[in-house]
Amino acid sequence: MQFPTVQFALFFLLVLSISWLVRRKRTYQKIFLLAASYFFYGWWDWRFCILLLASSMIDYVAGEGIVRAEQNQRKKKIWLWVSIIGNLGLLGFFKYYNFFQENVAQLADLLALQAHLPVLEVILPVGISFYTFQSLAYTFDLYFGHGQKAESLLDFLLFISFFPQLILGPICRSKDLLPQLMREAPEQIPDLTRAVRLISSGLIKKVFLATFLATHLVNDAFVSPENYSSLELLTAMYAYSAMVYLDFSGYTDMARGTGLLLGFHLPKNFNAPYAATNIGEFWRRWHMSYSRWLRDYIYFPLGGSKGRPLRTYFNLGVTFLVGGLWHGAHWKFVIWGAIHAIALITYKASLDIRRALGWKFKKVHPWWYLLWGWLLTFHVCVGARIFFRSVDMETVGMFFSRLFEFSTYGRGLEVMLLLVTAFGIGLNFYGRYIKQAFDWSHDRIPGWSKPLVWAAIAWFILTLKPADVAPYIYSQF
């Protein structure tokens, strides 16, 4: 069940109404929300619910074991490894088995050997990477002593499956959501204006802007680049970067908005990432819950930035190679991760060299320095996404070949495509002013007429939305 659909609108209105009706009976409300979340997830395939429950139970049992072990480090470590092996085993089978089998077969072919791994048609469950990482974070945090333990199995199951953020995040930590689940329900919606604004912006980003870019250039250009000119492919690079931001941040807006309407705050996941002036800052602003996960559970345990510079660079490399593989079982994602790893290592090395030479770091840099940093950072991200979006490595090769042919033959560019691309990227710079204007306007609408305004916005979006709104890009991860 996708967010920008009539089915979801009807489902959510029913869930919202019943949830607030039973809010004074908190246990009943949580049972209802858990059932609604599993119904939402089972909409794609009811068997996915079995996997979700299995993943949740592994970490609930492991978490209980870690807490009961108290000061016994050996037992705590055993329970942590139960969680790691259980979750990564499920994730590895469903997401990486086919990739592993294909590469083993190719290697055996190269060595004139025979591989005997069976060929299986493994279906990738929607959102498995997101809820697996969230579930793993729970046991990691309990193990390191800074997590919030669930008071009951019900609380934990709902924490993992809460439907607004189940499919694409944000990846919640135990302290983000569990305390909200374990206390009494609020008497009213925490921030109605922000909820309406987030849902409206999420729908507009996905339904109109991201869909327009996808259907008017991006989808075809990254599948058949040989049909497009160099200028069109260059435009497609920028258009895809705008599209993936609109698509993913649009989902996060919807998740946070629907969460607020149900009485729960979900963490922010994007903070104007395309306004970043260095690659480190970009990763502090893009998919923030995911980048913090990589930092806290891979980079820091490896040693982080402690020790010698070469060790730090190694840690960065490993972290982002894992980050690339998290997106999918394909070499194109490994290369995408490697590009970001190299960019981060280069940036970190430049800082280390400046420190070694005794150069002082200015708190405020001149405009030309920031502009150069922004251009470099933005184009590293745009260029890396050629690997991220292309169907396979053969298409990547064709894309680059055609891009540097400087050919004029193609299908032509629409002015509206350029405007939407510029608008999507520009939101990173002036989006906050649009938010402030919306909040100011919404707060001044008389209370009795607000439902009419909301209905008008919903009618406008659902009536004018294209018939072929594609699934969210990150739902495949």
Is the model's pLDDT at 241 over the cut of 50?
Answer: yes
**Chain centroid to CA 212:** 21
Find where tokens 């104007």 sit.
272
Write the DSSP string, 27-90: HHHHHHHHHHHHHHHHTT-THHHHHHHHHHHHHHHHHHHHHHHTT-HHHHHHHHHHHHHHHHHH
Same domain for 201 and 149, yes or no, is no
pLDDT digits (tens, 9 = 90+) for 318-340: 999 989 888 877 889 999 999 99
Question: Looking at the 3D structure of the chain, how many domains does it have?
Answer: 2
Same domain for 230 and 143, yes or no, is no
Q: Which two tokens stand for residue 454?
A: 């909301």
Same domain for 219 and 171, yes or no, is no
Q: Is residue 215 part of a domain?
A: yes
- Report the first-to-last Cα separation within the chain, whole angstroms: 16
pLDDT for res 255: 95
Same domain for 356 and 441, yes or no, is yes
Eight-state DSSP code of residue 183? S
Other CB atoms closer than 10 Å to residue 238's CB: what's the count?
20
Please give the torsion angle defined by the CA atoms of residues 134, 137, 141 and 146, in that order, rounded to the nearest 10 degrees: -50
Q: What's the average model confidence in pLDDT over 167-178?
A: 92
Is the model's pLDDT at 110 over the cut of 70?
Answer: no
pLDDT digits (tens, 9 = 90+) for 379-413: 999 999 999 998 888 999 999 998 888 776 767 78
Q: Is residue 1 part of a domain?
A: no
Q: Is residue 315 part of a domain?
A: yes
Q: What's the average model confidence in pLDDT over 198-214?
A: 91
Q: What is the C-alpha to C-alpha distance for residues 130 and 474, in angstroms, rounded to an integer?
A: 10
Confidence of residue 120 (pLDDT cuts 50, 70, 90): very low
Confidence of residue 264 (pLDDT cuts 50, 70, 90): very high
Integer Rg of the chain from CA = 24
Task: From 182, 205, 223, give the residue that closes a domain.
Answer: 182
Find where tokens 């299995």 sit.
54
Q: What's the average model confidence in pLDDT over 178-192?
A: 89
> 34-48, 207-221, 263-277, 353-367: lowest mean pLDDT where?
353-367
What is the maximal distance between C-alpha atoms in the chain?
Answer: 76
Q: Exposed (0-12), middle (13-18) or buried (19+): which is 9, by Cβ within 10 Å?
A: middle
**Chain centroid to CA 268:** 11
The more confidently predicted of residues 154 and 185 is: 154
Is the model's pLDDT at 104 over the cut of 70?
Answer: no
pLDDT for res 413: 80
Confidence of residue 95 (pLDDT cuts 50, 70, 90): confident
Same domain for 349 and 221, yes or no, is yes
Judge contact between 388 and 248, C-beta under 8 A. Answer: no
Name residue 82's amino acid.
V
Whether omega for the bond prior to residue 170 falls within 30 degrees of 0, making it cis, is: yes
pLDDT for res 257: 95
pLDDT for res 439: 86
The more confidently predicted of residues 164 and 325 is: 164
Same domain for 98 and 208, yes or no, is no
Q: Which two tokens stand for residue 107?
A: 């290697």
Mean pLDDT of the chain: 87
Same domain for 72 and 121, yes or no, is yes
Percent pLDDT > 90 in the chain is: 55
The more confidently predicted of residues 99 and 183 is: 183
What are the CB-based long-range contacts (under 8 Å, 24+) for 119-124? Answer: 122/93, 122/94, 122/97, 122/98, 123/45, 123/94, 124/94, 124/95, 124/476
Same domain for 178 and 258, yes or no, is no
Is the model's pLDDT at 464 over the cut of 80?
Answer: no
pLDDT for res 52: 93
Range ranked top by mean pLDDT from 269-278, 321-330, 348-357: 269-278
Is the model's pLDDT at 116 over the cut of 90?
Answer: no
pLDDT for res 106: 53
Catalytic residue among 287, 327, 330, 340: 327
Q: What's the average model confidence in pLDDT over 176-194?
A: 90
Q: Is residue 136 part of a domain?
A: yes
What are the CB-based long-range contacts (under 8 Å, 24+) for 60-67? Answer: 60/150, 60/153, 60/156, 60/157, 62/86, 62/139, 63/138, 63/139, 63/142, 63/149, 63/150, 63/156, 66/139, 66/142, 66/143, 67/142, 67/149
Backbone φ/ψ region at 315: left (φ over 0), alpha (ψ -120 to 50), beta: alpha
Q: Where are the beta strands (DSSP E) in 294-396?
A: none
Same domain for 237 and 281, yes or no, is yes
pLDDT digits (tens, 9 = 90+) for 281-322: 999 999 999 999 999 999 999 998 887 888 999 999 999 998
Q: What's the average model confidence in pLDDT over 114-143?
A: 77
Q: Which residues contact 220 (CB under 8 A, 6 or more apart)?
A: 227, 228
Q: Is residue 60 part of a domain?
A: yes
Q: Is residue 264 part of a domain?
A: yes
Judge contact between 327 and 336, C-beta under 8 A. Answer: yes
Same domain for 33 and 166, yes or no, is yes
Name residue 44's amino acid.
W
The more confidently predicted of residues 162 and 97 is: 162
pTM over 0.75: yes
Q: Is residue 403 part of a domain?
A: yes
Same domain for 51 and 142, yes or no, is yes
pLDDT for res 165: 93
Q: What's the average model confidence in pLDDT over 12-37?
A: 94
Q: Which two tokens stand for residue 350?
A: 């430049």
Q: Is residue 187 part of a domain?
A: no
The more confidently predicted of residues 240 and 308 is: 240
Task: From 182, 203, 233, give the residue that closes a domain.
Answer: 182
Q: Where are the beta strands (DSSP E) in 103-225?
A: none
Is the model's pLDDT at 279 over the cut of 70?
Answer: yes
- Its domain, for residue 289, covers 192-476
pLDDT for res 29: 95
pLDDT for res 325: 85
Task: From 148, 182, 216, give the residue that closes a domain.
Answer: 182
Same domain for 168 and 304, yes or no, is no
327 is an active site residue:
yes
Helix 153-161 crosses helix 128-144 at what angle (to 10 degrees)? 140
Q: What's the average model confidence in pLDDT over 230-237?
A: 93
The more confidently predicted of residues 448 and 202 is: 202
